[in-house]
């Protein structure tokens, strides 16, 4: 049986005494895309921040294969803007590539290539803060995929994107899966989750209420009905 490349077991987290996550377990596998769904406040972003090492869990553990100390950096797209607002996209991505160990020339080439792949001009001299919301999102996506990481975590990757650029993201995610990366994708657009993902995990009230493979028995409508049923049921039980 294959080992997961990223695993959380029994993770819990509280903020001010209120539980955000309660005994949450999730596994990500190479070459598979896992959709993370749930209503607002379900705990998705808290789980993502724990998986990426930005937050420490109060209980449970997160492990990488290979172990966290020797594993390469994972790719991460935060829900909020996380790049340097006063820098140009090319300079920002070049710096991030250098942090990943690339030489100056390789970092320049990789940064330019990824900006072009998401539809941005690497020679654009505008600072990030002067780009549109969709352009900023595309710069962040380029940063998340930079260096072809083996684990990619995307928190609301379709935010601010028009239908054309949604297709760009779908192509990037599918290409990552084809080269063997494990992808965790959090989104509210259930039709896109169904179209892109191999597996789905749903949080409600800080707990896992769905952990299934998206197979031929699921369609976008049945996933939405299941979402509403579990979200309503979890809310009623609290």
Within this chain, do residues 144 and 154 fall inside the same structural domain, yes or no?
no
Length of the chain: 238
Task: Give 69's pLDDT tier (boundaries 50, 70, 90).
Answer: low
Are 37 and 190 contacting, i.e. CB atoms less than 8 angstroms apart? yes
Task: Give 123's pLDDT tier (boundaries 50, 70, 90).
Answer: very high
Within this chain, do residues 160 and 233 fall inside the same structural domain, yes or no?
yes
| pTM greater than 0.85 (yes/no) | yes
CATH code, 6? 3.40.50.300
User: What is the rounded CA–CA span in Å between residue 92 and residue 138?
Assistant: 13
Within this chain, do residues 89 and 203 fall inside the same structural domain, yes or no?
no
Over residues 182-202, mean pLDDT: 92
Within this chain, do residues 58 and 157 fall inside the same structural domain, yes or no?
yes
Instruction: Tell me how many domains the chain contains.
Output: 2
DSSP-assigned beta bridge partners for residue 34: 184, 199
Lowest mean pLDDT, pick from 106-110, 126-130, 178-182, 221-225: 221-225
**Final residue belonging to a domain, choices 116, 148, 180:** 148
Average pLDDT, the chain: 89
Domain that holds residue 94: 83-148
User: How do residues 15-60 score in pLDDT, each as one tens digit?
Assistant: 988 889 999 999 999 999 999 999 988 999 999 999 999 999 999 9
């Amino acid at each position: 049986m294959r080992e997961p490349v990223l695993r959380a077991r029994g993770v819990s987290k509280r903020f001010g005494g209120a539980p955000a996550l309660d005994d949450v377990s999730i596994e990500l596998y190479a070459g598979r895309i896992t959709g993370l769904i749930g209503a607002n406040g379900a705990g998705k972003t808290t789980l993502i921040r724990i998986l990426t090492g930005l937050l420490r869990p109060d209980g449970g553990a997160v492990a990488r294969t290979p172990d966290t100390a020797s594993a390469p950096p994972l790719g991460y797209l935060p829900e909020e803007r996380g790049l340097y607002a006063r820098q140009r996209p090319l300079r920002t991505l070049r710096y991030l590539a250098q942090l990943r160990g690339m030489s100056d020339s390789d970092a320049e080439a990789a940064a330019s290539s990824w900006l072009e792949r998401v539809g941005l001009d690497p020679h654009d001299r505008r600072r990030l803060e002067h780009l549109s919301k969709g352009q900023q999102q595309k710069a962040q996506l380029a940063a998340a995929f930079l260096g072809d990481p083996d684990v990619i975590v995307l928190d609301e990757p379709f935010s601010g994107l028009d239908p054309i650029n949604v297709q760009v993201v779908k192509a990037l995610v599918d290409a990552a899966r084809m080269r063997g990366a494990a992808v965790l994708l959090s989104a509210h657009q259930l039709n896109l989750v169904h179209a892109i993902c191999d597996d789905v995990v749903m949080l409600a009230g800080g707990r896992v209420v769905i952990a299934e493979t998206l197979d031929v028995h699921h369609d976008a409508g049945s996933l939405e009905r299941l979402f509403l049923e579990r979200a309503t049921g979890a809310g009623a039980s609290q």
